[in-house]
Amino acid sequence: MKARTRDALRHERELRHAEAKAYEHERELRTLYDAHERELRAAHEAAVEKAREAHNEVIEARLQNLNHFAERMEQLQQTYLPTARFDRDHAALIERYEREYRALSERH
């Protein structure tokens, strides 16, 4: 019986040692997993930031194009003749033409 008790104690010691090794291995795996997760998060955050910067650059370029287009439209609108002014100048031109036409008709 003494041999059986000794074997049982040895076996229990081996089990405890194996259990301690398993816990240590699990801690090492958890440490590696946590480090890997931190690396992935950092890579993800960097990729998101890079995408945001690229998106912001695209938006900025579009806004600049729109601003340039708006400035060009303002410049173009300054060349337009208001309807009231056109009507007034056109009426004056017709009146002048008719006067000159009558004057020439009376001469001949």
- Each residue's pLDDT tens digit, 4-59: 888 899 999 999 999 999 999 999 999 999 999 999 999 999 999 999 999 999 99
* Distance of alpha carbon 30 from alpha carbon 2, whole angstroms: 42
Task: Tell me what pLDDT residue 4 has.
Answer: 82
Global pTM reads 0.52
More confident residue, 47 or 79: 47
Give the least confident one: 34-38, 91-95, 100-104. Answer: 100-104
Task: Tell me what pLDDT residue 1 has.
Answer: 59
